Amino acid sequence: MDLLERLREIGALKDGHFLLASGRHSAHYVEKFDLLRQPGPTSEACGEIARRFAGDRLDVVVGPTTGGVLIAFETARLLGVVAGYAERSADGEPGREFRRGTRFEPGARVLVVDDILTTGGSIRETLAALGRHPVEVVGIAVLVDRSGGRAGFDLRLEAIARLDIPTWEPADCPLCEGGVPLVKPGTTVPPIGA
């Protein structure tokens, strides 16, 4: 499966001037929900994750909220195992936790999945939440790794697609300097400064 080509076909790989969640700016953006709204392409991508981990005797597939929930569910379904979801901590503290009756058998073999890997923060929080349970983390899988290899994990990392997209601090952004309107993805408001 050529996930990047599929993302282009459905309009999920966008060009422009984007304000990322990290506060940095980019000329490209992957709108994961343009993919995740479509069951067929999402299932294809999760099928590739399942294929890559089919021989690993997994017991559970977990993902962080929000986008990781859909990826975890579909990958778990394809592998015939259960899914779990690492939610933001209920007490408002930083980090994630497993709630809503999620339990792990001692020694459970777990795969962590997510949609887009940029800094690795959501995955690190998910791994920290798993660290409070008697499990073995087998690996990590993401739909798109846009970290350029900078996220760095001491676990097997499988990415269905890789993008090395340059980002800039606002003060160093050539798009700002060129007067290109800044858009905050996920909002319906006009470009920032418009």
Point out the annotated binding site for 5-phospho-alpha-D-ribose 1-diphosphate: 114-122
Residues annotated in the binding site, as ranges? 114-122, 146
Nearest to 161 by CA among 82, 48, 20: 48
Asked if pLDDT for residue 37 goes beyond 60, the answer is: yes
| Annotated binding residues for orotate | 118, 146
Q: pLDDT value at position 76?
A: 98
Among the listed residues 13, 18, 52, the one whose alpha carbon sits nearest the alpha carbon of residue 35: 13
Task: Determine what percent of the chain is predicted with pLDDT higher than 70.
Answer: 96
192 band by pLDDT with thresholds 50, 70 and 90? low
Residue 80: CA atoms inside 13 Å, Cβ hemisphere, count?
5
pTM, 2 dp: 0.88
Mean pLDDT of 141-155: 88
In the predicted model, what is the mean pLDDT of residues 119-134? Answer: 94
Please check whether residue 161 is in contact with residue 5, taking contact to mean a CB–CB distance below 8 angstroms: no
CA dihedral 9, 10, 16, 20 (to 10 degrees): -130
**pLDDT band, very low/low/confident/very high, at 36 (cuts 50, 70, 90):** very high
| 90/103: higher pLDDT | 103
Domains of the chain from N-terminus onward: 3-177 (3.40.50.2020)
Cβ contacts of 37 within 8 Å, gap of 6 or more? none
User: What type of residue sits at position 120?
Assistant: G
Average pLDDT over all residues of the chain = 91
- As a whole number of angstroms, the distance between CA 91 and CA 124 comes to 19
The pLDDT tens digits of the residues spanning 6-34 come to 999 999 999 999 998 778 899 999 999 99
Q: What was the pLDDT predicted at 66?
A: 86
Q: In this prediction, what percent of the chain has a pLDDT beyond 90?
A: 76
| Mean pLDDT within 118-123 | 89
pLDDT tens readout for residues 40-77: 999 999 999 999 999 999 999 999 998 899 999 999 99
* pLDDT of residue 191 exceeding 90: no
What's the Cα-to-Cα distance from 91 to each of 77, 85, 97, 99, 145, rounded to whole Å? 31, 17, 10, 12, 30
Q: Is the pLDDT of residue 86 over 80?
A: yes
Q: Is residue 50 classed exposed, middle or buried when 0-12, 13-18 and 19+ CB atoms within 10 A define those classes?
A: buried
Tell whether the model's pLDDT for residue 98 goes beyond 90. yes
pLDDT tier, 187 (very low <50, low <70, confident <90, very high otherwise): low
pLDDT value at 119 more than 90 = no
